[in-house]
Chains A and B, each alone.
Chain A
Amino acid sequence: MNAKSKWLSVLDVVSIAGFVAAASMVFFYAPMERVMGLVQKVFYFHVATAWIGMLSFFVAMVAGIIYLATHRTRPDAMKWDIVAVAGVEIGLVFTLICIVTGSIWARPIWNSWWTWDPRLTTVTIMELAYAAYLMLRAGIEEPERRARFGAVYSIIAFISVPLTFFSIRIWRTIHPVVIGGSDPSASGAFDMTPRMLQTFFTSLVAFSFLYGSLLWHRIRMGQLAAKVEQLKLRLSE
């Protein structure tokens, strides 16, 4: 049961190939943006990581809901808790990458690493909410209760995700909205040429494969950890 699945190996290879393809398209295929120059190339991975972060938190919330709905009736509901933790951990990492790449871009374009813009603020709140999720779990020893509270908090914390997503569309902000409508007050917005669009979608797809592979690995790790825990219990009996 615990041997690495053949399909997971295939997925690993596909995501590495996709990542290499996306990176080379970013550097050699996509044209240089006229005003911003080289630093604009951060955009392709910045948006892709933001998308993966939010998707991952969504996965965690759905897993949490399924856990809460099934844990009373089904003994194997714990697997959904493993999925939820995997989702939150990966989402945290990708959101952090998104914030860091955004900062790298903002330094030359907005002339500052950080501004208290609605988008930047809401994304940080989101990151902190999910960091709190991990701290909540760390404070509870009993696995069943940890899973239950984790599921509840993954639902509550998810409120911050749509808030982050729509923040640039609701409030006046200097964060550019490249996809779907542009706000004149945003600074650093641009229109994508076809080549840019192709590069953008390639990196979205590449990151999605990477995400699938990471999620699968993390879930597998969670299952193995649960098994180790059981073996330890059996030894101590």
Chain B
Amino acid sequence: MKALSNFWRAMLAIVWKDLATEWRSRELISAMLVFALLVIFIFNFALELTPQTRNDVTSGVLWVTLTFAGTLGLNRSMAVEKDRGCLDGLLLAPVDRTAIYFGKTLANFIFMLLVAAIILPFYSVLYNTNLFVGGLLLVIVLGAWGYVSIGTLLASMAVQARTRDILLPILLFPVTVPLVVAAVKASSGYLKLLDQVEITPWLSLLIVFDLIFTAIAFLVFDSVVEE
């Protein structure tokens, strides 16, 4: 029981540390936001988002924006730990290493949801549609968790490599493509008001990927950070 409460305390301390540093500098979230808006603007001209085509591509545009912005955040969140030896300090702390992993993941998860919380109303205003559909919000939560759970693990590997700036997307995208596909299909199902029967398979696939990614990361994170 005591071990569990120690685990929670360590995890929440790391989340708190990440949120506090972010609150003071606002580096990461502003970069992610500006980047996300730029991606939406590029899509606007690349795809000619007329009202007819918009319905078909909205969920795709949304997820590409979120995942690209998410990659930016993941890379940064691990790079700041590596830069001045903060990661070594974290690893020296007498806490369970998986608490460090879940702390970092939870912080990244919050950043990604924050970005989503800002681009959703923005997109709704720009294109005069309503994206605040209950189902879509659920899909974003599930998709973002899967993405950051494996992304945090891969980012902690990528920052330790020589080619760290280019490595994360190359490692992350092939693994997360199935998750993103499921998220896009489920989101567009909710936006097009399809029957729940047609959306459920994609939703279950999302949940399965969330579980697999979290379980694998939980099992192997120790080997990634050991020195």
Contact = CB atoms under 8 A, between A and B. Distances in A.
Contacts of B226: 148
B134 interface: no
A68 interface: yes
A125 B182 CA distance: 14
B163 A128 contact: no
A32 interface: no
A159 B160 CA distance: 23
A132 B177 contact: no
Interface in A130-170: 132, 135-136, 138-141, 145, 148-149, 151-153, 155-157, 159-160, 163
A122 interface: yes
Given A135-B167, A139-B167, A149-B224, A155 B178 contact: no
B223 A68 contact: yes
> Which one of B163, B171, B174 has the greatest number of beta carbons of chain A within 10 Å?
B174
B161 A129 contact: no
B173 to A, nearest CB: 8
Given A152-B223, A152-B224, A155-B220, A139 B174 contact: no
Contacts of A139: 161-164, 167
Contacts of B138: none
A168 to B, nearest CB: 15
B174 A153 contact: no
A111 B160 CA distance: 46
B216 A135 contact: no
Contacts, number: 69
A13 to B, nearest CB: 38
A24 B203 CA distance: 48
A128 B177 CA distance: 11
A125 B162 contact: no
Contact of B171 (A68, A122, A151, A153): A153
Interface residues of A, number: 25
Interface string B149-183: 01001100110111110010011011101100000
A128 to B, nearest CB: 4
A43 B63 CA distance: 37
B212 interface: yes
> Which one of B153, B158, B175 has the greatest number of beta carbons of chain A within 10 Å?
B175
Interface string A104-142: 000000000000000000100110110010011011110
Given A129-B175, A159-B175, A160-B174, A151 B150 contact: no
> Which one of A141, A153, A157 has the greatest number of beta carbons of chain B within 10 Å?
A153
A125 B154 CA distance: 17
Nearest to A158: B216
A132 B160 contact: no
Interface in B116-171: 150, 153-154, 157-158, 160-164, 167, 170-171
27 contacts: A125-B174, A125-B177, A125-B178, A126-B174, A129-B175, A132-B171, A132-B174, A135-B170, A136-B161, A138-B163, A139-B161, A139-B162, A139-B163, A139-B164, A140-B160, A140-B162, A141-B162, A148-B224, A149-B160, A152-B153, A153-B154, A156-B175, A156-B216, A157-B174, A159-B178, A160-B174, A160-B175
Given A132-B171, A151-B223, A156-B154, 4 more contacts: A129-B174, A136-B170, A139-B162, A141-B162
Interface of B: 150, 153-154, 157-158, 160-164, 167, 170-171, 173-175, 177-178, 212, 216, 220, 223-224, 226
